[in-house]
Structure formats: structure tokens, C-alpha cells
Amino acid sequence: MKKILLIIFLFLLASCESEKKDVVSIPVSVPERKLEVLYKTTDTYGSRMFSVPGGKENQVILRIKGGTKLKVLEIKQIQMGAILGNWYKVKYDNKTGWVSGFTFKEGEELIIPSEDDKIKNYEKQIGKKPESNPWNGKITIVDEWIKKNSNDPKSIDYLQWYQPFAQNDYWVCRVEFTVKNAFGGLVTEDILFHIKYGEIIAVVDKIGTQLY
């Protein structure tokens, strides 16, 4: 009886192996997904191409004539004041740079984020907003700079610390204080500190004269 069961088992095993050989693997064809190609056309007055998104006047590469159709290579959103705008990376006249979406014929959606979102957007672009000491209003990096560059650090008397705000591509920290000058006289200073990524990149007085 055992011998008969063994023969039946071997017969079934051989049948299964034979069926496996007859199975043909058919490849499944997956349709290729094409990336959408975006084009933008400059308005009647043309567009300025900048070296960086959200660029300033001294970062203009060239001006693209009006009515030019451009292929978009990349898109970035840049917070500029109260408005969050799209900037498009394009190539023109063998140059590659960035153009504001507001200079295209197709038009742009006007995006005005909340105050909290505006700060978050700026922090992605220019670093964390400088924080004031809740007890005395001082901003440490600014306080240290003033003491280091004063004739008589002990004579410094802070009159007013203002809340930092974003301008162009940096944070602005304004402070008013009195201090003794080189002749021992007391003078009042009103200075603005430009800060980016936690470092002071410029210091100007209230009339715009650059001090550092």
C-alpha cells in the first residue's frame, strides 16, 4: 500500500513540473509618463533676467524682448514683501537666469500669505528671524557688534529696540542708543543692521550711509 501511495505522489509531482514548463511569462507594458513642458511669454515691455530668483537691480543679466516664448526649466516661489510670487528659470540668448512671473502675458495668481506664513517663507530664504531677548529687547548679535565697535562700551544706553523685519533678501534690525564719542561727548545713534543666515552683512545709519 505504501508503495502505491509513493508512486501516485511521484506521478503528481512530475505533472506539476510539466505544467510549470508550459507557463509563458508575458511582460506587462507600462505607458511612459511624460513630464509636462511649460512655456511662458514675456509681456509687451519684456522681462528682466536675473542671476538669482528674486534678484535685485545689480543682478540683472539682460532684458528679454516682449512677446518672447520661453521654455521653463525650473520654478521657485519667493516671498517679496507681502506677496509670494513665482520665479521661472529660463534660457535666452545663450544665457540662463530667473524671470518674475508677473512679467509674463499669461498672468500670475496674487498670493498674499498670512503673517506667520510670510515669516516662514522668509526664513527659508534668508535664515531664521533674529530673536529679541524678552527681558530687555536686545538682539545678541547686534548688541555684541555695537559694544565691539564703540569707543566706550560702558557708556552705551539703549533707547529703543525695534522688531526685526524682512527687506529684500535680509532681515533688518533697527536700534537707537546713546554713546560717548572719541571726544567724550554723548551722541545719539540710529542704526540699521542687515542680517542674513545669522550673520551681519551690512550696517547703515538712518540716512543710508553704510558703516560696515
Q: Note the pLDDT tens digit of each residue in 55-91.
A: 988 999 999 999 999 999 999 999 999 999 999 999 9
The predicted-structure confidence for 90-126, as pLDDT tens digits, reads as follows 999 999 999 999 999 998 888 999 999 999 999 999 9
User: Which range, 106-110, 133-137, 149-153, has the best average confidence (pLDDT)?
Assistant: 149-153
Give me the chain's average pLDDT, please: 86
Which residues sit opposite 87 in a β-bridge?
A: 76, 100
Q: Give which of 109, 106, 5, 90 is closest to 50, Cα–Cα.
A: 90
Domain ranges in the chain are 39-112, 140-205
Whether 72 and 38 have beta carbons less than 8 Å apart is answered as: yes
Among 161, 150, 212, 139, smallest CA distance to 187 is for 150
Alpha-carbon distance of 193 to 204, in angstroms, equals 7
What would the CATH number be for the domain defined by 39-112?
2.30.30.40
Contact 140, 150 (CB under 8 A): no
Q: What is the pTM of this model?
A: 0.72
Q: Among 19-23, 182-186, 192-196, 203-207, whose mean pLDDT is lowest?
A: 19-23
